[in-house]
């Protein structure tokens, strides 16, 4: 593609959306594309850019280096932000020389195929494109709620990217909310640490994305990336001078398996990516707000993601899944007259449970196969074909767990599973995000889609846009979730709606029926339990987002807690509207979400106060209508006995208010339906 064609091509179709027009949505804004070209002299040094509302101001400066300054409502955020792209033999280290600049403003409506937050997303920004001499350039976008940039290249042959540098210097002390890993080999499950920027001096640590920066001046910044393909994921490390510096894993030159699920890199290349010479690199984005609600409502990953690659998506079905690993696959009680475990009778019991409550899937985790390295032979106690037939009769699909090594060593496994009638796969233990492994994710998603298989990635990095290119990817782990048992507590999880879940689907695996306060916590599988109240666990299904949501506990306990189970199984996995009502990162989150004409309210809080109260306005309800609200709230003794909850029924109207009272590590969950 010639350089001018690359430069002028506008990408207007992120995955899983169609443009909304007056014909198909009369009440939405018509897509408006206003393009105003401005050619600057090559000697120009400063290029200003502001958000449509004028609150975010960027000054991009060229010269010996490429740098920018960012301010929000007049307050400096990034004092100096240095950007640089280095490639073998290109001479780009000598600094950018602007050949052409172009500005444009875009205001359009995007429609996600499987919306986690909004069925209609406004995509409104101002953009500056700089074309540099030597075959590369930069795109910079300013939104009302943040900024994003990416490099693009135009070279005839493949290129080796040696490094992509981003260095941010803060004008004052910031509080960094980080997941710190000891190396680039990580499952992204580290707990959050909270470190003043000038005190982060661990040069051996790298922080995964996303991360949250609290300027301590009333404004926060969420950093992440989107459209990451054929390229490594970005990390941050300290720059040793009150700032952050980007870091990337080198491309592996040679690696070998470690056991049945690990890998060891034996040799690294001198570059981070060898890739197509003419392409656009991943977007780096920063959501900026003085209201923490903005991070819960963030859709930037979607707005910047690539185009949907699947023509046929009618077979993709988000939903709930009953999952046996967390509860030890041990149903019990008078209805269980068989030996429980990874066997046909137990999985039939799980299918019966799913069918009883209208749950879409069961997930058969580690233990269903005779050998984790051979996904074609079930263990002798599992009659897979009988289970598939039984599930089909009950309208319950089966998902199967695999290690990534099994998938890599047996690429025909997706075709075989499709022939069997399996509905999807859970791929686990990748624990890397170098270029090779990023490409593995895409190969899996593409091959799985050919055979109509859903994908849930565990032991994975965070969502970064591939799920919109291949919408059969329903979820990612990459989170410190309930698998960590006592290592998963609300004080950490209260950051998730503002950081990890703010960038995409999150397989946290909620749904515990045995609930304890932290000082009383003691449990092991098969009697797995969670920290937090029962109402907290139920609220997670509303507050947390995943197109494939797990019901992690034992069917026996769900049957015994029927009113809770019936409530959980009414909660959707995709949403038409999301409104954060009360939000403070790490402290509390109360959200209202709409699906069709039903509203759901979920609230969670941490361990800091015995009780927290919120009076929420119900102005999101439709005027003139009465709603019946069924709520699950913390009981009077929930601060000590986490199992204590109350179920209430209340009539509500728009314009009214409702007072929530949450115990420590507590929650609130409600469904609001119109009355006749």
Reading the block at residue 248, the tokens are 């990337």
DSSP one-letter code for 277: S
Q: Please report where in the chains the tokens 């923490």 appear, as a residue.
A: 292
Q: How far apart are CA 327 and CA 137, in angstroms?
A: 52
Asked whether 346 and 387 are in contact (CB, 8 A), the reply is no
The CA-based angle 113-388-361, given to 5 degrees, is: 40
Q: Please report where in the chains the tokens 């197109």 appear, as a residue.
A: 547
Known catalytic residue at 428: yes
CA 631 to chain centre: 27
Query: Which candidate in 164, 431, 434, 483 is catalytic?
Result: 483
SS3 category, 490: helix
Asked whether 366 and 401 are in contact (CB, 8 A), the reply is yes
Quick count: other Cβ atoms within 10 Å of Cβ 437?
22
Please, which residues have CB within 8 angstroms of residue 62's CB and are 6 or more apart in sequence?
A: 44, 45, 47, 95, 96, 97, 98, 130
Asked whether 496 and 644 are in contact (CB, 8 A), the reply is no
For residue 265, what is the enclosing H or E element? strand 262-268
Q: How far apart are CA 289 and CA 286, in angstroms?
A: 10
Q: How far apart are CA 11 and CA 391, in angstroms?
A: 42
Query: Which candidate in 214, 292, 428, 633 is catalytic?
Result: 428
SS3 category, 491: helix
Give the residue among 472, 478, 407, 411 at the shortest CA–CA distance from 445.
Answer: 472
For residue 141, what is the enclosing H or E element? strand 136-143
- What's the chain's Rg over C-alpha atoms? 25
Q: At what angle do helices 384-394 and 344-357 cross, to 10 degrees?
A: 10
Q: Cβ-count burial of 204 within 10 angstroms (0-12 exposed, 13-18 middle, 19+ buried)?
A: exposed
Active site residues: 428, 483
């Amino acid at each position: 593609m010639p350089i001018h064609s690359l430069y002028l091509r506008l990408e207007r179709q992120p995955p899983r959306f169609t443009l909304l027009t007056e014909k198909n949505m009369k009440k939405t804004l018509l897509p408006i594309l206003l393009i105003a070209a401005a050619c600057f002299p090559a000697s120009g040094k400063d290029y200003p850019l502001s958000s449509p509302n004028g609150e975010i101001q960027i000054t991009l400066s060229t010269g010996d280096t490429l740098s920018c300054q960012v301010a929000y409502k007049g307050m400096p955020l990034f004092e100096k932000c240095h950007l640089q792209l280095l490639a073998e033999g290109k001479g780009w280290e000598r600094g950018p020389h602007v050949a052409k600049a172009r500005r444009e403003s875009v205001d359009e409506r995007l429609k996600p195929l499987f919306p986690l937050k909004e069925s209609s997303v406004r995509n409104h920004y101002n953009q500056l494109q700089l074309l540099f001499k030597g075959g590369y350039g930069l795109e910079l976008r300013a939104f009302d709620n943040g900024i994003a940039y990416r490099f693009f290249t135009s070279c005839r042959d493949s290129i080796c990217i040696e490094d992509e540098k981003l260095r941010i210097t803060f004008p004052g002390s910031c509080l960094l909310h980080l997941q710190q890993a000891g190396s680039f080999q990580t499952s992204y499950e580290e707990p959050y640490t909270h470190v003043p920027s000038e005190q982060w001096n661990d040069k051996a640590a790298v922080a995964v994305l996303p991360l949250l920066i609290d300027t301590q001046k009333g404004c926060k910044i969420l950093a992440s990336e989107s459209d990451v393909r054929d390229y490594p994921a970005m990390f941050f490390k300290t720059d040793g001078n009150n700032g952050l510096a980007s870091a990337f894993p080198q491309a592996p030159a040679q690696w070998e398996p470690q056991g049945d699920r690990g890998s060891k890199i034996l040799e690294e290349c001198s570059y981070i990516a060898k890739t197509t010479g003419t392409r656009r690199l991943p977007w780096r984005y920063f959501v900026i707000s003085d209201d923490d609600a903005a991070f819960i409502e963030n859709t930037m990953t979607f707005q910047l993601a690539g185009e949907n690659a699947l023509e046929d998506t009618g077979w993709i079905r988000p939903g709930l899944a009953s999952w046996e690993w967390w509860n030890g696959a041990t149903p019990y009680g008078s209805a269980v007259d068989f030996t429980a475990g990874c066997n046909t009778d137990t999985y039939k019991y799980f299918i019966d449970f799913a069918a009883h409550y209208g749950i879409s899937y069961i997930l058969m985790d580690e233990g269903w196969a005779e050998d984790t390295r051979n996904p074609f032979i079930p263990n002798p106690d599992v009659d897979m074909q009988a289970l598939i037939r039984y599930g089909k009769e009950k309208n319950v699909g089966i998902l199967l767990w695999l290690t990534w090594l099994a998938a890599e060593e047996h690429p025909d496994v997706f075709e075989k599973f499709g022939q069997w009638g399996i509905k999807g796969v859970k791929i686990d233990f990748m624990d890397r995000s170098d270029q090779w492994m990023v490409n593995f994710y895409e190969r899996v998603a593409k091959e799985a889609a050919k055979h109509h298989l859903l994908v849930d990635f565990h032991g994975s990095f965070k969502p970064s846009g591939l799920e919109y290119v291949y919408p059969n990817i329903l979820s990612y782990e990459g989170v410190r979730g309930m698998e960590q048992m006592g290592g998963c507590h609300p004080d950490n999880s209260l950051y998730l709606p503002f950081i990890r879940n703010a960038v995409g689907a999150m397989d946290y695996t909620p749904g515990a029926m045995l609930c304890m306060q932290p000082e009383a916590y003691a449990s092991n599988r098969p009697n797995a339990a969670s920290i937090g109240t029962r109402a907290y666990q139920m609220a997670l299904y509303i507050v947390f987002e995943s197109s494939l949501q797990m019901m992690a506990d034992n069917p026996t306990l769900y049957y015994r807690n029927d009113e809770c189970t019936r409530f959980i199984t009414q909660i959707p996995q995709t949403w038409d509207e999301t409104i954060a009502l009360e939000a403070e990162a790490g402290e509390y989150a109360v959200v209202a979400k709409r699906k069709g004409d039903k509203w759901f309210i979920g609230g969670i809080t941490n361990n800091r106060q015995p009780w927290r109260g919120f009076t929420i306005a119900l102005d999101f309800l439709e005027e003139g209508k009465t709603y019946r609200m069924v709520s699950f709230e913390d009981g009077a003794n929930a601060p000590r006995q986490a199992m204590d909850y109350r179920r209430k029924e209340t009539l509500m109207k728009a314009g009214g208010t409702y007072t929530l009272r949450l115990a420590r590590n507590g929650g609130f969950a409600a469904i609001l339906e119109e009355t006749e």
